[in-house]
Structure 1
Amino acid sequence: MKKDFQISYEYFKNAGELDDIEKELLDKAKQARENAYSPYSEFSVGCSVLLENGQIFTGNNQENAAFPSGLCAERTALFWISANFPEEKIKKIFVVGGPKEFSENNPPIPPCGACRQSLLEYETKQNENIDLYFSNMNDEVIKVKSIKDLLPFYFDATFL
Structure 2
Amino acid sequence: MTKDNTDSIFEILDIQDLSTEEQSLIQTAQEISEKAYAPYSNFQVGAAVKLSNGAILKSSNQENVSFPAGVCAEHLVLSYAGANYPESAPECLAIVARRKGEQSWANVSPCGICRQVINEVENRFKHKIKMLILREDGRVYSISGISALLPLKFDDLNS
TM-score calculated relative to the size of structure 2: 0.90
Q: Encode CA deviations 1:69-88: one digit per residue, 9 max, x unaligned.
A: 11000011011111111111
Number of aligned residue pairs: give it: 158
Return the alpha-carbon distance in structure 2 between the equivalents of residues 36 and 151 of structure 1.
26
Q: CA deviation at 1:98?
A: 2.1
Give the equivalent residue in structure 1 for 2:112: 113
The gaps in structure 1 that reach 5 residues or longer are none
Give the equivalent residue in structure 1 for 2:94: 94
Give the equivalent residue in structure 1 for 2:76: 76
Q: CA deviation at 1:19?
A: 1.0
- Does the 8 A contact of 2:105 with 2:135 survive in 1? no
Return the alpha-carbon distance in structure 1 between the equivalents of residues 92 and 117 of structure 2.
15
- What amino acid does structure 2 have at the position aligned with 1:94? A
Describe the SS at the equivalent of 2:67. coil
1:10-159 pair list within 5 angstroms: 10-13=11-14, 15-102=15-102, 104=104, 106-107=106-107, 109-136=108-135, 138-157=137-156, 159=158
Return the alpha-carbon distance in structure 1 between the equivalents of residues 94 and 105 of structure 2.
20
Q: Encode CA deviations 1:16-60: one digit per residue, 9 max, x unaligned.
A: 222111111011000110100001001110000000111100011
The gaps in structure 2 that reach 5 residues or longer are none
- Does the 8 A contact of 1:102 with 1:137 survive in 2? no
TM-score calculated relative to the size of structure 1: 0.90
Return the alpha-carbon distance in structure 2 between the equivalents of residues 125 and 18 of structure 1.
27
Describe the SS at the equivalent of 2:120. helix
